[in-house]
Amino acid sequence: MITAVIAAIKQALLAQGVPEPILDKAVFSEPPNPALGDLAVAAFPFAAFWFCAPPEAAHKLAEIIRGSHNAIFEITVTGPYVNIKLQTAAIVHAATHFKPEKIRPRPAIMFEYSQPNTHKEYHIGHLRNACFGAALVALWRAAGQNIIPVTYNNDVGAHVAKTLWAYKKFHAGEKPPTEKGRWLAGMYVEATRALEENPDYKEEVSDVLRALEAHDPEWYKLWKETRGWSLDQFHAIYKKLDLKFKHTFNESAIKERGHAMVDDLLRRGIAKKSQGAIIMDFEEQNKGVLILRKSDGAGNYTTSDLALAEEKFRRFKLDSSLVVTDKRQSLYFEQLFMTLHAYGFKQHLKHLDYELVTLPEGAMSSRKGNVILFESLYEEVLAHAIAETTQRHADWSAKKVAKVAEALTIGAIKFTMVRASPLKVIVFDKTEALSFDGYTAPYLQYTVARINSIFKKAKLTRPRAAATFAWTDAERALWMLMARLPDVIERAATDDDPSHVARYCFELAKAFSSFYETHKVLDDDKTIRAARLLLVKSTQKTLQVGLKLLGLPVITEM
In a domain, 557, yes or no: no
Condensed to tens digits (0 to 9), the pLDDT of residues 452-496 reads: 999 988 876 678 887 789 999 999 999 999 999 999 999 999 999
Listed in sequence order, the DSSP H helices in 330-373 are: 330-343
Q: Are residue 176 and residue 61 in the same domain, yes or no? A: no
Q: Report the alpha-carbon distance of residue 329 to residue 354 in Å, rounded.
A: 10
Condensed to tens digits (0 to 9), the pLDDT of residues 182-194 reads: 899 889 989 999 9
Q: Are residue 176 and residue 118 in the same domain, yes or no? A: yes
Q: Mean pLDDT over residues 504-532, rounded?
A: 94
Whether the predicted pLDDT of 40 surpasses 80: yes
Q: What is the CATH number for 441?
A: 1.10.730.10
pLDDT number for residue 466: 78
Q: Are residue 72 and residue 123 in the same domain, yes or no? A: no
CA torsion, points 494, 495, 499, 500, in degrees to nearest 10?
-60
Listed in sequence order, the DSSP H helices in 348-498 are: 374-392, 398-418, 430-433, 441-458, 473-483, 485-495
CA 225 to chain centre: 33
Q: Are residue 80 and residue 183 in the same domain, yes or no? A: no
Q: Are residue 161 and residue 26 in the same domain, yes or no? A: no
Condensed to tens digits (0 to 9), the pLDDT of residues 247-258 reads: 999 999 998 899
Please state whether beta strands 320-326 and 289-293 pair in parallel, antiparallel, or not at all (unpaired): unpaired
Q: Are residue 61 and residue 170 in the same domain, yes or no? A: no
Query: H or E element: which one contains 362?
Result: none
Give me the percent of the chain exceeding a pLDDT of 90.
83
pLDDT number for residue 370: 61
Question: Average pLDDT of the chain?
Answer: 93
In a domain, 247, yes or no: yes
Whether the predicted pLDDT of 359 surpasses 80: no
In a domain, 268, yes or no: no
Q: Report the alpha-carbon distance of residue 317 to residue 299 in Å, rounded.
A: 28
Long-range contacts of 510-517 (CB under 8 A, 24+ apart): 511/477, 511/478, 511/481, 512/447, 512/451, 512/478, 512/536, 512/539, 512/543, 513/447, 514/474, 515/474, 515/475, 515/478, 516/450
Q: Are residue 135 and residue 245 in the same domain, yes or no? A: yes
Q: What is the CATH number for 32?
A: 3.30.1360.70
Residue from 172, 158, 167 nearest 202 by CA: 158
In a domain, 34, yes or no: yes
Q: Are residue 327 and residue 409 in the same domain, yes or no? A: no
In a domain, 363, yes or no: no
Residue-range definition of the domain harbouring residue 58: 2-86
Q: What is the CATH number for 354?
A: 3.40.50.620
Q: Are residue 477 and residue 339 in the same domain, yes or no? A: no
Q: Are residue 186 and residue 126 in the same domain, yes or no? A: yes
> Per mean pLDDT, which range of 75-79, 355-359, 387-391 is the poorest?
355-359
Q: Are residue 62 and residue 158 in the same domain, yes or no? A: no
> Per mean pLDDT, which range of 27-31, 230-234, 360-364 is the poorest?
360-364
pLDDT number for residue 365: 54
Contacts of 279 (CB under 8 A, 6+ apart): 271, 272, 273, 289, 290, 291, 292
pTM here is 0.91
Percent helix / strand / coil, the chain, rounded to 5: 60, 15, 30
In a domain, 406, yes or no: yes
Listed in sequence order, the DSSP H helices in 16-123 are: 20-25, 44-50, 54-65, 88-96
Phi/psi of residue 102, nearest 5 degrees: -70, 140
Domains identified in the chain, total number: 3
SS3 172: coil
Condensed to tens digits (0 to 9), the pLDDT of residues 44-90 reads: 999 999 999 999 999 999 999 998 999 999 999 999 999 999 999 99
Whether the predicted pLDDT of 315 surpasses 90: yes
Q: Are residue 428 and residue 542 in the same domain, yes or no? A: yes
Contact 507, 481 (CB under 8 A): yes
pLDDT number for residue 368: 52
pLDDT number for residue 77: 96
CA torsion, points 494, 497, 502, 503, in degrees to nearest 10?
-80
In a domain, 100, yes or no: no
What number of H helices and E strands is found in the chain? 21, 14
In a domain, 93, yes or no: no
Condensed to tens digits (0 to 9), the pLDDT of residues 120-160 reads: 988 888 999 999 999 999 999 999 999 999 999 999 999 99
Contacts of 360 (CB under 8 A, 6+ apart): 427, 429
Condensed to tens digits (0 to 9), the pLDDT of residues 271-299 reads: 999 999 999 999 999 999 999 998 988 88
> Per mean pLDDT, which range of 4-18, 354-368, 540-554 is the poorest?
354-368
